[in-house]
Structure 1
Amino acid sequence: MYSCFDIAKEFLKLAKEEGSVVDPMKLLKLTYIAQGYYLAFWNKPLYNNRIEAWKYGPVIPDLYRVTKRFGYGQVDSDLVDLYAENELGKDEQGFLKALWGHYGSLSGLELSSLTHQNDSPWKLAYKEGERATLIDNEAIKKYYDGFVKKKSGGNGQEK
């Protein structure tokens, strides 16, 4: 299994190929969304890092701690690379490239708003005043299952 840093590294590589800027918020949200779709498609997690419900949305604390120093600026891919543990397989690279193609043009704020929908795992897990509430992979999978079924017409086949 991969770590969130392996996934983040791939998103930063794709952004660099396009000449795009990826700030910490965008990287966190893309990495979270990748976990959701991966759970929905393959019924297993893409990475093993904890995801928590914080005041402003779902957060992967391990990735947050490393990238927060960049504020609203470009995340340094060399720093993330120091934490990456594995090379992604071709299937995972293709999966992340497809996600990048769909979500890569959105800003961190736009991605954040997608993760804050009323029935989202974050909305269901977050309790005002509490911190570090786990967002369960099963809740994430259930939520993203809805998107996968909607896009495939409910039968698992792409329309």
Structure 2
Amino acid sequence: MPYSAAKIANQMLGLARDKGEEITPLKLLKLVYIAHGWSFPYLHEPLLAEPAQAWQYGPVVPSLYRAVSKFRAGPITEFVPDTDPQALSEPAIALIQSVYETYSGYSGTQLSNMTHMPNTPWSEAWNSHGKNAIIPNDRIAAHYQNLLETRGQPAA
């Protein structure tokens, strides 16, 4: 660890395919960010090798956005090109699967709304540094640790 956003996205896309579900780019972007967030309290390290940024509709990993933007609002119909040679660890796979099972019932818009509410890492980066600001991993880690401690269950 950490991994490319494409590797995490492809794991999510595989889970969706196995369940006969579709994922739009907006939904995938948020699922990957949420998995990254939960990696801190559960795996004690970042899942993503690249930073998330504060974009208008919430946190985004730019390389993943570029890879899936051609699908616009439609379902993603192919895996994302991935040059990261490492395989996902078993704990990372389990975390990604748990995040998918917990959040896949939400639409991309609902996930976007969850991830850019007030007092989230996105809102702090957006309000302090503006459009496309990097969302610091230490802030993401603190936010998801707090969610775990205060709610006892996943939330974005």
TM-score, scaled relative to structure 2: 0.89
Max Rg structure = 1
Deviations 1:57-93 (A, max 9, x none): 1111010011111011111333x0x225232122211
For the residue of structure 1 that corresponds to 2:59, the secondary structure is strand
CA distance in 2, matches of 1:152, 1:116: 20
- Pairs aligned (count): 151
**Contact 1:34/1:99, CA 8 A, preserved across alignment:** yes
**Contact 1:40/1:141, CA 8 A, preserved across alignment:** yes
CA distance in 2, matches of 1:106, 1:131: 25
Is there any run of 5+ residues in structure 1 with no aligned partner, and where?
A: 154-159
Question: Identity over the aligned pairs, expressed in percent?
Answer: 32
CA distance in 1, matches of 2:151, 2:54: 26
Q: Residue type matched to 1:108 in 2? A: G
Is there any run of 5+ residues in structure 2 with no aligned partner, and where?
A: none
CA distance in 2, matches of 1:143, 1:17: 31
Alignment match, 2:116: 116
Alignment match, 1:156: none
Bigger mean CA deviation after superposition, 87-96 or 115-124 = 87-96
**Contact 2:53/2:133, CA 8 A, preserved across alignment:** yes
Q: Residue type matched to 1:14 in 2? A: L
Q: Residue type matched to 1:99 in 2? A: V
CA RMSD after TM alignment: 1.8
CA distance in 2, matches of 1:152, 1:122: 21
Alignment of 1:1-150 (within 5 A): 1=1, 2-78=3-79, 80=80, 82-85=81-84, 86-127=86-127, 130-150=130-150
Shift of 1:119: 0.7
Q: Residue type matched to 2:150 in 1? A: K
Shift in alpha-carbon separation, 1:72–1:133, aligned structure 2, 3 A: same
**Contact 1:40/1:144, CA 8 A, preserved across alignment:** yes
For the residue of structure 2 that corresponds to 1:15, the secondary structure is helix
- Runs (4+) off by over 4 Å: none
For the residue of structure 2 that corresponds to 1:48, the secondary structure is coil
Q: Residue type matched to 1:65 in 2? A: R
**Contact 2:43/2:91, CA 8 A, preserved across alignment:** no
TM-score, scaled relative to structure 1: 0.88
Shift in alpha-carbon separation, 1:89–1:43, aligned structure 2, 3 A: closer
